[in-house]
Structure 1
Amino acid sequence: MDHPALAELTLRLHEDDNVVIAMRDLEPGTYALRAGGTLSVTDAVPRGHKVAVAPVAEGEPVRKYGQVIGFASAAITPGRHVHTHNTAFQMFERAYDFGVDARPTTYVPENARATFQGIVRQDSRPATRNYIGILTTVNCSATAAKLIAERFKYDGLAEFPNVDGVVSLTHDTGCGMAGPGSEGFEVLRRTLTGYANHPNFAGFLVLGLGCEVNQVSSLVEHWQIPAHKITVPMTIQELGGTRKTVAEGIARIKDMLPDVNNVTRETVSASELVLAMECGGSDGYSGITANPALGAAADLLVAHGGTAVFGETPEIYGAEHLLARRAATTEVGEKLIRRIHWWEDYTAKHSGSMDNNPSPGNKAGGLTTILEKSLGAAAKGGTTNLADVVEFAEAITAKGLVFMDTPGYDPVNATGMVAGGSQVLCFTTGRGSAFGCKPTPSVKLATNTDVYQRMTDDMDINCGVIADGEASVAEMGRQIFDHVLEVASGKQTKSEELGYGDEEFVPWQLGAVM
């Protein structure tokens, strides 16, 4: 009797792995092995999940990508479904061999580098979009900010075709918090400062209530905003209430519009791009298709002299030693590990665990532990050297691959990278995340063909073709790189067409609510 070939239905990522990934739903039954013999699959194994191909004794490591993704919580026999019922997270030692895998970067000659059509500001920084922003210092001014922005939706900008929109950046803090010098206060201010400095904003209102801890006057006073950027500070209390504030805000933005509209796109080197990289709603395919393809795109951008940044520190936990091996210097590697230790202390202080991740959706998609999720997430970093590690919302100044310390929560992570100066973002998803992050366009990369076809209005690129055998990781990396240049030149993303991005400004809240 002929048995279906296991190799045609599964994927083995490394010769040392004791599990393989089901590329389609596997039913219990007997499967032929490539080397001869058969394997009896005893459980139904959903697509994207793992099946054991070797015995794993209780307490022994489960390996995928050639790395430890967890430890058997019960003995696992070949053919069993490997997931949360028999595999668990536990701490284990990882060697931080700083820089041992760092290699000289091979750059494309400057006269041969890729280009995009950007908006070059007077301070020479290129923008990919042309927005007016309304920055709020406190939650109390959020409604007024939204009412002002609402006036310019639909046909409100019909006479100003070069203005991409007016976006209100509202949040849930700014008061009821410790003031200057406290961690939460400084992170909020760094985030607001980063957005104010972002090249995709041509001008903005800064709107507060008037009595909050995060005062408009002291915030703006310490800004070093380019002289060409129009900045209008306002408070509701000084203007005499909400109606007067909204009327004044609308009038001020109307005054800005002719100047903001007066822009043209011109040719800019790809070396001027900062690409943010995000993964959310991950599944068992994320580390096989979209994330490594995005990593290949990041390698291309770095070779063309540009910068790629990724974050989500809790979601590289268990893979940080691999990044440390690629650190350009020992100092960079040590900065990364200090942030890992900070997160270990932070979660312990709040009675949490670094394995509070993955989410229920991640687990449904086949991810079992944070170690497995992290190894797939780290693939976004490609293969180039780790050039720098920066704090949340800190300005990104290094060229090459940069890591930003951020939470794993998607809107917070993206907010930090946009504040750092990213002009384009790529977001990989296996479950189907819906997301945008004005003023930065968000490109959605599906990890599998099913989610791409089900959510075609949300997904820009189908990386599932890698799993389908229709394209290589390198080919998809080139496609993503080319698409990023088109988006940087003005091509709208699916998220932009749908209007996403007004609600996804979420600064990282640290410290006590007082």
Structure 2
Amino acid sequence: MSAEQIAALRLLHDGDDVAIALRDVAAGEELPVGGRSVRVAVDVPRGHKVAVRPRAVGESLGKYGHVIGTATAPIAPGDHVHSHNLEFSAHAATSAAEAGSSRPWSPPALPERRTFRGIRRGDGRVATRNHIAIVASVNCSATVVRAIADRVERAGILPDTVDGVLPLAHDLGCGMAPTGDGMDILRRTILGYADHPNVGGVLAIGLGCEVNQMEQLFAEFETGPNKPARDLPMVRMTIQGTGGTRATIEAGIAAIEQMLPQVADVTREDVPVSELVLGLNCGGSDGWSGITANPALGYASDLIVAQGGTSVLAETPEIYGAEDLLVVRAKNPEVAQDLLDVIAWWEKYTETTGASMDNNPSPGNKEGGITTILEKSLGAVAKGGHAPLAAVYRYAEKIGTRGFGFMDTPGYDPVSVTGLVAGGANLICFTTGRGSALGSRPAPTLKVATNSDLFRRMTDDMDIDAGEMVEHDVSIEEKGLEIYHALLDLASGRKSASEELGYGLEEFIPWHIGAVM
């Protein structure tokens, strides 16, 4: 379908005040939309909004059937609606009492393919990859961790059944309070990676004098109730205790060589889709995100949940203003209130730091047609499909309830994905309209482009072209099924575009909360 044949404007909801430009439209064009026609006042880029109703200063504007902001200038039909005449506004509060008030969920018809080739661990969980993780307890051991991983990878000693050696280096672990949210999050994140089903062996390295002491970090992991229920080879050491940097690098390499036969002793087998734990994320969103990639991913998510699998939405700042869509899907008031408590924490957090929840849309988001966080959130929530909300998790908390869930994370992509992986996601699906460069390990990432222009420009980085939903009239169901099959291929060992490019080594970024001391 040529650009000239693409319908120019799309109204997403009958009562909306704006339509989306599906192609670049020129000033003076008379275009049909929603049973009427509008004459476009100025050139409007693809993905941006065109007014279909007049709005006075101070009146709200709707998109997706929800308020996305307030007019700051008179708006006439055909006007370009964006930052120059639309601003963020407060949105109506919702209540936990509304839990379960949405229309009953009708799961989609299941496809014939309902298994993938996974690695069954001793504790029953299923892995999609098999890595050795080298964990740094503190930034001071980051150089050693990276050096060991690099030496082992270059030595060519890894058998085909081991997907790589993953250095988990970060900038935390000292200069922070020994107790409290910051340390709790760091330790929960590190241990979540160490105990991830996609990790077959662990080497932990500290400096020796850091606040995040190795004994405290791994105390419950090695002997307490959180001890892994499988035979996970694990070695830990400190640079000071081992004799310095060179000695620790050599000792680390020897430790990996010793655990390698056990780590490599795995085989893939057919396992049901119910063993998938899919993390849902987006970045570099544009005006097409909410009508192409995100709803298509939502359909794929529903297919997985309908088979007893798990999918988890994240990025709390990017559901702000659309949380009511999740509250009404909550399975009970307790889950709904848990989500509202998370929202309230963020409102207080941003207020105390002098920020606003509307600071989230980036310059790239706005260039792509998104004006306010309310608008961005309404499109982002579509990634979660329509299944009931079964659980709400704090950052990096173990994902333990089957079905659709939500994890409290920042909107910053690598920090958000780090939380999902630490929680146990064995796959990530990431949608982007601007072209975010991101991947993740040990859980691989499938990248979905919201528009075909991006897919053509960054073919090496993208796995799926959701722009076909506009350019070739592909349905949500068709594209969602394509994503679903691509996820099963990925879970079965096929490499994603981001894996082929080597992404995932720099994206381990735990959420930092608290003072640097």
- Decide: shared fold, TM above 0.5: yes
Return the letter of the residue paired with 2:140.
C
Structure 2 Cα separation of the partners of residues 194 and 203 of structure 1: 13
1:448 aligned to 2:457? no
Offset from partner CA, 1:284-310 (integer Å, 9 cap, x none): 000010000000000000111100001
Task: Kindly indicate whether the alpha-carbon contact (under 8 Å) linking 2:39 and 2:77 is maintained by their aligned counterparts in 1.
Answer: yes
Note the alpha carbon deviations across 1:86-111, whole angstroms, 9 max, x for none: 000011323332220163665989x9
Indicate which of 490, 507, 511 corresponds to 1:508: 511
CA distance in 2, matches of 1:311, 1:347: 18
Q: 1:444 to 1:474 in 2, by over 3 A?
A: same
Give the 5 Å matches for 1:129-140. Answer: 129-140=129-140
User: Which residue in 2 is equivalent to 1:217?
Assistant: 215
Corresponding residue of 1:124: 124
Deviation at 1:39, TM superposition (A): 2.4
3-state secondary structure, aligned to 2:399: coil
Q: How does 1:347-358 map to 2 (within 5 A)?
A: 347-358=350-361
- The CA distance in 2 between the partners of 1:151 and 1:327, in whole Å, is 48
Distance 1:25 1:151, change over 3 A: same
Quick one: which amino acid aligns to residue 195 of structure 1?
Answer: Y
Asked if residue 48 in structure 1 is aligned to residue 51 in structure 2, the reply is no
Q: Distance in 2 between matches of 1:36 and 1:464?
A: 25
Aligned counterparts of 1:33 and 1:211: Cα–Cα separation in 2? 69
- Matched with 1:150 is 150
Partner of 2:296 in structure 1? 293
Q: Which amino acid aligns with 2:56?
A: A
SS in 2 for 1:203: strand
Counterpart for residue 224 of structure 2 = none
3-state SS in 2 of match to 1:92: coil
213 and 102 in structure 1: CA distance in 2 versus 1, 3 angstrom threshold: farther
User: How far off its partner does 1:32 sit?
Assistant: 4.1
What's the CA shift for 1:473?
0.6
Percent identity of the aligned residues?
A: 54
- Partner residue, 1:63: 62
Distance 1:164 1:5 in 2: 46
Q: Deviations over 1:216-236 (max 9, x none)?
A: 111111111234101111100
Q: Would you say 1:434 and 2:437 are equivalent positions?
A: yes
Aligned residues: 508
Which among 196, 199, 208 is matched to residue 198 of structure 1? 196
Whether the 8 Å contact between 1:113 and 1:269 is mirrored in structure 2 is no
Closer, same or farther: CA 300–45 of 1 in aligned 2, 3 Å: same
Change (3 A) 1:112 1:429: closer
Query: 1:185 is aligned with what amino acid?
Result: M
What's the TM-score, normalizing by structure 2?
0.95
Are 1:136 and 1:207, in contact at CA under 8 Å, matched by a contact in 2? yes
Q: Are residues 1:370 and 2:373 paired?
A: yes
Q: Decide which of 262, 271, 276 is 1:273's aligned counterpart.
A: 276
Offset at residue 10 of structure 1 (A): 1.1
Kept after mapping to 1: 8 A contact 2:208/2:240: yes
Instruction: Give distance in 1, aligned partners of 2:428 and 2:31.
Output: 43
Quote the Cα distance in structure 2 between the aligned partners of 1:210 and 1:154: 28
- Please say if 1:19 is aligned against 2:22: no
Distance 2:53 2:265 in 1: 65
What corresponds to 1:100 in structure 2? 101
| Structure 2: runs of 5+ lacking an equivalent | 222-226
Contact 2:298–2:480 (Cα < 8 Å) also in 1: yes
Structure-2 separation of matches of 1:479 and 1:106: 17
Aligned partner (choices 329, 334, 348) of residue 331 of structure 1: 334
AA aligned to 1:218 is Q
CA contact (8 A) 1:49 1:82 kept: yes
Matched with 1:141 is 141
Could you tell me how far apart the structure 2 residues matched to 1:433 and 1:458 are? 9
| Contact 1:140–1:209 under 8 Å retained in 2 | yes
Counterpart of 1:475 in structure 2 is 478
C-alpha displacement of 1:77: 1.0
Q: Distance in 2 between matches of 1:37 and 1:68?
A: 22
Cα distance between partner residues in 2 of 1:385 and 1:116:
24
SS in 2 for 1:153: helix
Q: Distance in 2 between matches of 1:508 and 1:197?
A: 18
Report the alpha carbon displacement of residue 196 of structure 1 after superposing the two structures with TM: 1.1
> 1:422-476: per-residue Cα shift (whole Å, max 9, x none)?
0010000000011111100000000000000000000000011011133101111
CA distance in 2, matches of 1:241, 1:72: 63
CA distance in structure 1 between the partners assigned to 2:112 and 2:286 by the alignment: 37
Report the residue type matching 1:513 in the other structure: V
1:196-252 Cα offsets, whole Å, 9 max, x none, are 110000011111101011011111111112341011111000011100000000110
- The amino acid across from 2:182 in the alignment is G
Q: Which amino acid aligns with 1:50?
A: K
Change (3 A) 1:106 1:365: closer
Pair 379,244 (structure 1): closer, same or farther in 2 beyond 3 Å? same
Deviation at residue 8 of structure 1 after TM alignment: 2.3
Is the CA contact (8 Å cut-off) linking 1:312 and 1:408 kept in structure 2? yes
- Paired with 1:295 and 1:35, the residues of 2 have a C-alpha distance of 25
Matches of 2:452 and 2:4, distance apart in 1: 22
1:258 is matched with: 261
CA contact (8 A) 1:7 1:33 kept: no
Q: Deviations over 1:150-181 (max 9, x none)?
A: 012245235x111100010111110000013x
Tell me how far apart the structure 1 counterparts of residues 338 and 276 of structure 2 sit (CA, whole Å): 24
The answer to whether the 8 Å contact 1:286/1:447 transfers is yes
Per the normalisation by structure 1, the TM-score is 0.96
Structure 1 residue runs of 5 or longer lacking an equivalent are none
Contact 1:395/1:421 (8 A) holds in 2:
yes
Letter of the aligned partner of 1:443 in structure 2? L
Give the 3 Å change call, closer, same or farther, for CA 104–287 of structure 1 in structure 2.
Answer: closer
Could you tell me how far apart the structure 2 residues matched to 1:130 and 1:148 are?
Answer: 18
Q: Is 2:235 aligned against 1:232?
A: yes
Note the 1:455-474 alignment, pairs <5 A: 455-474=458-477
Q: Which amino acid aligns with 2:40?
A: V
Give, in whole Å, the separation in 1 of the partners of 2:87 and 2:5. Answer: 26
- Secondary structure at the aligned position of 2:236 is classed as strand
Deviations, residues 104-135 of structure 1 (Å, cap 9, x unaligned): 665989x9771111111111111000000011
Query: For residue 115 of structure 1, what is the aligned residue in structure 2?
Result: 115
Q: Which residue number in structure 2 is paired with residue 391 of structure 1?
A: 394
Counterpart of 2:317 in structure 1 is: 314
